[in-house]
Structure formats: C-alpha cells, structure tokens
C-alpha cells in the first residue's frame, strides 16, 4: 500500500473544518478517480450520507477504504448548506477517519448539479 501522509502546514493557518491542507503520496501506487457521487435522498443530511455511502461502496469494490482517500472535491448548490455540510462532517468524519487525519477537500458552490433535486456531489481521489 502507498504511504499517504496527510498534513497541515503551520504557515497556512488552521483549516476551517474537517480537512487538511495536503496529502503526500509516496510509493508505487494505483490511483482511483471516483466520479462525483450524488444521492436522491430527501434532505441535505440524507444526501450527504448517501453520497459518502456510494463513495465507500466504490472504495470497497477496489479493496480500499477511507484511509486510502487522498482528496475530496465537494460541490454544493446552495451556499446556505455550507454550515450544514461542516456540521455533517464534524459529526461523521471522526467515525470515517478515526485517526483525525482528514483528507484535503475543495468546496465549491455552483449553480446546479446534473439534476435539480441534487444538493451535493462529492468527487474522490484515492490511492492503493
């Protein structure tokens, strides 16, 4: 397995949420690029849970888990959901990443996703 070092850079200040500044991957690796996952569940929190459940399914299908994640890119449709997303991660990420090493995450607020009912989409890069 590749060595994934997730770290923060003191000169960049403390991250604003459950993410780190960078992932450093060393070794002969295979990289997984997991397409953005969405969920048609009702409500923002349920869509977060559904999207991350799909990511977990994709990871497991490749013999990987949350510890293999090097980076997330998150797309939200409504800026008012930023606080909800931060609260969801604060509640769920300690279970997913028990060592407290949260992968980097770029958070973007966009006009819409592929279908109107989707409120969040999460793209993932992982290494084996």
Q: What is the mean pLDDT of the chain?
A: 95
Say what the pTM is: 0.89
Tell me which of 3.40.50.720, 3.30.1330.40, 3.30.70.1060, 3.30.420.240 is the CATH number of domain 3-127.
3.30.1330.40
Structure letter (DSSP) for residue 28: S
- Which contiguous run of DSSP H or E holds residue 24? strand 22-26
Do 66 and 97 contact (CB within 8 A), yes or no? yes
Encode pLDDT of 73-95 as tens digits. 999 999 999 999 999 999 999 99
- Could you give the 3-state DSSP secondary structure of residue 92? helix
Check residues 5 and 72 and name the one with the higher pLDDT. Answer: 72
Residue 126's contacts (CB-CB under 8 Å, 6 or more residues apart) are 31, 32, 34, 59, 62, 64, 68, 69, 70
Do 16 and 83 contact (CB within 8 A), yes or no? no
**What does the domain layout of the chain look like in residue ranges?**
3-127
């Amino acid at each position: 397995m590749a060595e994934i070092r997730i770290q923060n850079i003191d000169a960049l200040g403390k991250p604003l949420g459950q993410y780190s500044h960078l992932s450093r991957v060393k070794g002969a690796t295979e990289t997984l690029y997991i397409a953005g996952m969405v969920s048609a569940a009702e409500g923002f929190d349920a869509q977060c849970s559904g999207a991350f459940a799909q990511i977990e399914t994709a990871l497991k299908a490749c013999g990987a888990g949350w510890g293999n994640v090097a980076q997330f890119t998150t797309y939200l449709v409504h800026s008012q959901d930023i606080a909800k997303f931060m609260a969801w991660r604060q509640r769920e990420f300690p279970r997913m990443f028990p060592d407290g090493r949260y992968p980097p995450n770029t958070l973007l607020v966009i006009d819409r996703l592929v279908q109107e009912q989707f409120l969040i989409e999460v793209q993932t890069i992982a290494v084996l």
